[in-house]
Amino acid sequence: MLDRFLESAATLSTPTLGGHGEVTAWLAETTARGSFTTEAIPFAELDGWSFDPDTGDLGHRSGGFFTIRGLDVHDPAGVVTAWTQPIIHQPEVGVLGILVKEIDGVLCLLMQAKMEPGNVNVIQLSPTVQATRSNFLRLHGGAATKYLEHFTEPGRGTVLVDVLHSEQGGRFFRKRNRNIIVETTEDVPLHEGFRWFTLGQVHELLRQDNMVNMDSRTVLACLPMNATARPPERRAGELGPAIVESFRQDPEPAGIQNWLNQAKGACELTAKLAPLRDVGRWTRGERVIAHEEGRYFEVVAMSVTATGREVRSWTQPLIAPCGTGLVGFLASRARGYLEVLLQTRVEAGTPDIVELGPTVQCMPDNYLHLAPERRPPFLDHVRTAQGKDVKYDVVLSEEGGRFYRAENRYRIVEVADDVRFAATPPGFRWASLAQLSALIPHSGYLNVEARSLLACMRALC
C-alpha cells in the first residue's frame, strides 16, 4: 500500500480544493487583504522594551515574550576556544501544529497564510498553529489561538507525531518547540487566512522562493511516511522514485545514533547565560548591537504596522543576519537508494550542543576570502554545482517573528560515485533517508536546518 501522505504528495488537485489556479488565486486574495510596513527605529523608541540597568539584557517590561541576553561559551577543543555573543532567551515550549483531515479521499493539511514582521515578502505559509506558550495562554492579551484545541485537548483526533525539536542553536538558547501533527475527522470551520492543501500543493509552494516558512518546514519534515508498495515509475534522472523507495527500507538507525552519541560524549563545549553587558567584541549603538567585524548578525529594533481588517502597530527587537546563508545536502543514489551527507554540528545554544546538520550550513561570505582548502568541507561543491546535478535550489526564510529578512539558499546537489565512495572528512557521514525518517520523530538528532532541507527533499517526490 502506498502511504496516505505519499498519495497526498502525488495529488495536485481535488474536486473540493481545486488545483494550482485556486491556490494561486487564494494566495493573491489573501495577500491583497492586508500588508505590513516595518521601519528600523532606535532602541530608545521601543515601547515596553528596555535594557536592564544591571545586566544590559534587552527585555519586555512584562517579563514575557523573549529576552536578548549574553552567552558565555568555552570549547577547549574547538578552533575558537572561547567566545561571548548575544542570544535569544525564551524558556518556554511553543506549539507548531499541522491539522490533517481526509478530504475527497486524500489527506489534506490545514495551512495558514501568515504575515510576520521579518518576512521579506508579506505572507508565507505557516502551520495551522504556530504559537509560543505565552501566546496561546494569552499572557499578553490578544486573540485566542485558532485551532489550538485540536493539539492540546486529549481525544480530539489521532496524534500522528508529537516531538520536541530544537531551533537555531547559534541564536536561541535551548529553545524547543513541539512539532505536532493531528488527524481529525471532525467538521473543521475554515477561518479567514486558512486553507486546506494537499501535500502536493504544499510541495509546489516549497519549490518557490520564500513561500513556506520555517515553522511549516520543520513540521512537514516530521510527516510519517511508510510505503509498502513499489512507487510508480517517474522520469529517469529525478530523485523522486529513490526518495519514495527510501520509505520502504528498514531504517536501522543505530549506526547513526552511535556516531552522533560518540560526538556528543566527546564534545567539551559549555555554554551558560551571561549579562548582555559583558558580551565582548559586540557593541551596542543607538540602533544596533553588532559584532566588531560586522559578522554573524545584528540585534535591531523595529516598528511594525500591520494593515488589514484592522490596523495594529507595535515595536519589537529582531535579529538581522549579516548576509544570506547556504544550507545544502550532497545526495547520492550510489547504492540504489537515496543517501545524504550529514555532519555532527556543534552549536552552543542547542540543548545537547551537538546535533546532526546538513552537509553545508554557513554564511559563504565569511569564507570566500580564504583559500579553498581552508573553507568548510564541501562548501564549494554545494555552492557552485550547476545543471542537472542541482536537484533543489530555493531561497527560504527563517522564522519571521524573531528574525529580520533571514534568508538561506537551500540546495540539494547529487554527486557521482567517486564522491560518494571517497573518504569523508572527520565529522561527516552518509545516512539513508530511511535512517533520518526513523530519527526525526525524536528529540536531539536533526537540527532545524537539516529538518528543513529534509522537507525540501520530500517536495521532490
Least distance from a copy of itself to the Cβ atom of residue 150, Å: 12
Nearer residue to a copy of itself within complex by CB, 28 or 137: 137
Q: Establish if 261 lies at the interface with a copy of itself (CB under 8 A).
A: yes
Distance of alpha carbon 255 from alpha carbon 441, whole angstroms? 17
| Residue ranges in 94-113 that form contacts with a copy of itself under rule CB under 8 A | 95
Distance of alpha carbon 295 from alpha carbon 411, whole angstroms? 23
Q: Establish if 148 lies at the interface with a copy of itself (CB under 8 A).
A: no
| Residue ranges in 350-379 that form contacts with a copy of itself under rule CB under 8 A | 351-352
Neighbouring residues of 391: CB distance < 8 A, sequence distance ≥ 6:
238, 239, 331, 412, 413, 414, 460
What is the DSSP-derived secondary structure letter of residue 365? Answer: G
The grid coordinates listed for 81 are 576556544
Q: Beta-carbon neighbour count of residue 290 at 10 Å?
A: 20
Judged by CB under 8 A, the residue of 152, 303, 305, 324 near a copy of itself is 152
- Residue 2's Cβ-side half-sphere holds a number of Cα atoms within 13 Å equal to 16
Exposure of 418 by Cβ count < 10 A (0-12 exposed, 13-18 middle, 19+ buried)?
exposed
Cell 522537507 belongs to residue = 455
Among the residue ranges 2-10, 72-80, 153-161, 398-406, the one whose residues contact a copy of itself (CB under 8 A):
153-161
Q: Establish if 76 lies at the interface with a copy of itself (CB under 8 A).
A: no
Q: Establish if 42 lies at the interface with a copy of itself (CB under 8 A).
A: no
Nearer residue to a copy of itself within complex by CB, 163 or 301: 163
Least distance from a copy of itself to the Cβ atom of residue 53, Å: 23
Least distance from a copy of itself to the Cβ atom of residue 131, Å: 11
Cα–Cα separations (whole angstroms), residue 389 to 92, 200, 239: 42, 23, 10
| Residue ranges in 325-354 that form contacts with a copy of itself under rule CB under 8 A | 351-352
Nearer residue to a copy of itself within complex by CB, 70 or 240: 70
Distance of alpha carbon 286 from alpha carbon 170, whole angstroms? 24
Q: Establish if 264 lies at the interface with a copy of itself (CB under 8 A).
A: yes
| Residue ranges in 436-455 that form contacts with a copy of itself under rule CB under 8 A | 441-444
The grid coordinates listed for 165 are 525539536
Q: Establish if 259 lies at the interface with a copy of itself (CB under 8 A).
A: yes
Chain residues that interact with a copy of itself, rule: CB under 8 A: 91-93, 95, 133, 152, 154, 159-164, 178, 180, 254-255, 257-259, 261-262, 264-265, 270, 351-352, 441-444
